[in-house]
Amino acid sequence: MDEIVPVILGAAFGAIIWRCTRGRTRLVLSVLAVIVAGVAATVASSEYLESWIYLLLDLGEAALGLAVGYVIAARLLPAPANRNSAPSSR
């Protein structure tokens, strides 16, 4: 059960990052999101008490979740309204 936590966190972060950012900001936030999700899962499950090697597993799972979140946001969620265009006065 503990192994699903970084995947879910990564997917949530991935969907939010995909929808709200572009370019270099997306890359930086993606790396930070994987690190945060992986560390949070390792610490919350107390796996670090046995070995910090579990962090590597959780980082991989968080990266997988981030990719899943990207796909969900890009393919399944509706596109956001264009905020930069002015409303038509017709």
- The single-letter DSSP state of residue 47 is G
In angstroms, the CA 5 to CA 38 distance is 9
pLDDT tier, 4 (very low <50, low <70, confident <90, very high otherwise):
very high
In angstroms, the CA 61 to CA 11 distance is 10
**51 in a structural domain:** yes
**52 in a structural domain:** yes
**55 in a structural domain:** yes
The 10s digit of each residue's pLDDT in 72-90 is: 999 987 766 665 655 555 5
Question: Can you give the length of the chain in residues?
Answer: 90
Instruction: Spell out where the chain has E strands.
Output: none
**35 in a structural domain:** yes
Q: How many domains does the chain have?
A: 1
Query: Where do the H-state alpha helices sit in 1-90?
Result: 4-20, 23-44, 54-71
Structural domain range at position 53: 4-76
Tokens of 4: 């699903």
Mean pLDDT of the chain: 88
The 10s digit of each residue's pLDDT in 13-52 is: 999 999 999 999 999 999 999 999 999 999 999 999 999 8
Q: Say if residues 39 and 54 touch (Cβ distance below 8 Å).
A: no
Q: How many CA atoms are closer than 13 Å to the CA of 27, on its beta-carbon side? A: 2
